[in-house]
Homo-oligomer: A and B are copies of this chain.
Amino acid sequence: MKIEIENVLPQDIEARSFAIITKELEQEGICLPAEQAPVIKRCIHTSADFDYARNLLFSEGVIEKALHAIRNGASIVTDTQMGRSGINKTRLEGYGGKVYCFMSDEDVALAAKEKGTTRAVASMEKACALEERLIFAIGNAPTALIRLYELIREGKIRPELVIAVPVGFVNVVQSKELIRSLEDTPYIVARGRKGGSNIAACICNALIYMLDRS
């Protein structure tokens, strides 16, 4: 078998990838809402999984609200160091936001141990003390998402956006449905089992890049 490498300049690879994704979506007869398309396409770009064309759910007006939040300095709280690692922090800092992940913090480990809960849960509780605008990007732990849901219901935190994309097989589907049931919380949810820290990070980046281009 002859293996032929396509001659594409490094700086053109992303545009070429998005063109391929766009074409294949058209061939499948899938038409994406214009404002959601950059987010959906970037999830497909990150995973090569076209399921994201169908499983991403957006609350009403969420893109506009998310861009407004980032433009006004919102910070992002993630539930994994991997998610934190994947977010374009330089660009986000340009708008005044930071990225937090409390999972490795000593006080979080201690609080989780004392309360007999997970560090993911303790991380969400720690985030309540932050006084800035907050976006939550949860790509791993359904327990984080469930606790976040409770904290929102209790009025202890009011996120600008919840990116609810944990991946897995135990309480993952349910945790996302809880977030969808909230009335006043803007969300982007990957319905079903799929998601991940990479998906959480890439949704953040898609939003940041939309703002860079607007």
Binding site for B on A (CB under 8 A): 1, 3-6, 8, 10, 13, 16-17, 20-21, 45-49, 51, 80-82, 84-86, 117-118, 143, 146, 167-172, 174-175, 177-178, 181, 192-198, 201
Pair A4/B174 contact, Cβ less than 8 Å: yes
Shortest beta-carbon distance, A26 to chain B, in Å?
15
Pair B8/A170 contact, Cβ less than 8 Å: yes
The distance in angstroms between the C-alpha atoms of A45 and B140, with both chains bound, is: 11
Chain B positions within 8 Å of A5 at CB level: 146, 171, 174-175
Pair A3/B174 contact, Cβ less than 8 Å: yes
Pair A10/B118 contact, Cβ less than 8 Å: yes
Knowing A169-B17, A169-B21, the reply to whether A178 touches B3 (Cβ < 8 A) is yes
Knowing A196-B198, A197-B198, the reply to whether A45 touches B169 (Cβ < 8 A) is yes
Pair B168/A45 contact, Cβ less than 8 Å: yes
Among A3, A17, A46, A172, the most chain B Cβ lie within 10 Å of the Cβ of A3
Pair A177/B82 contact, Cβ less than 8 Å: no
Knowing A82-B85, A170-B16, the reply to whether A181 touches B3 (Cβ < 8 A) is yes
Pair B195/A198 contact, Cβ less than 8 Å: no
Pair B82/A17 contact, Cβ less than 8 Å: no
Shortest beta-carbon distance, A2 to chain B, in Å?
10
A171 interface neighbour in B6, B169, B198, Cβ under 8 Å: B6
A194 interface neighbour in B10, B48, B195, Cβ under 8 Å: B48
Chain B positions within 8 Å of A81 at CB level: 85
